Amino acid sequence: MDVIGPAGAGIAIAVENLFPPLPSEVILPMAGLASSRGSFTLFEALFWTTAGSIVGALLLYGLGAWLGVARLRAIAAKVPLLHPEDIDRTVAWFSRHGSKAVFFGRMIPIFRSLISIPAGITRMPLWRFALLTAAGSLVWNSIFVLSGFFLGESWHIVERYADILQYVVIGAAMLAVAWFLYARVRALLVERSSGSGAEPGLD
């Protein structure tokens, strides 16, 4: 962190948005630790890491905008157990709750990166997306940067709690996917059973 400086930390956070396995929960406390040692100021750490979050989020927003609703509906029509109507419902939900989803989503591991894609798909106004992303990212970044700043060499303590949160999020996502698959397969089996049991019509 002393070598790459605050701008390098910002670049690392931008890359983390595109490649979530790169842990911001490690980068941010280390930036705080470096600022506590005087390598750069706390303001620089928060400014550059938040700027990196915005840049990474804008790139994913662009990906979502490129995909668009029509292309996603076409993809969903070809994927087993998915329907174009699923995309419509998701877009409708995001249109109602997108602002809250972007702001709070920036504080949830994994989803803090992915939330930018539906924002782009629904073409949320760019100024609103950037503002909400900056606000949510500043909250998230401040928690971890300040943890590293005040904990010093014990910065890794915060990583343990971040890991727990990440495991909870991953577990919840897996349960949601499992329930979705169960419901779709069950509905498909019921539909096929009803179709096979129907009497053939007369010509």
Q: Would 203 be classed as within a structural domain?
A: no
Q: Would 93 be classed as within a structural domain?
A: yes
How far is 114 from 94, CA to CA, in rounded Å? Answer: 13
Report the first-to-last Cα separation within the chain, whole angstroms. 78
- Which structural domain range is residue 186 located in? 5-196
Determine the 3-state secondary structure of 1 from DSSP: coil
Q: Which tokens in the block code for residue 75?
A: 């993809």
Q: What is the pLDDT along the chain (203 residues), one digit of tens a residue?
A: 888 898 999 999 998 888 766 777 788 888 988 888 888 899 999 999 999 999 999 999 999 899 888 888 888 888 777 788 878 888 888 888 889 999 998 888 778 888 898 899 889 999 999 999 999 999 999 989 998 888 877 767 777 776 777 778 778 878 888 887 777 788 777 777 776 555 555 44
Supply the pTM of this predicted model.
Answer: 0.79
CA-derived radius of gyration, the chain: 22
Domain count, the chain: 1
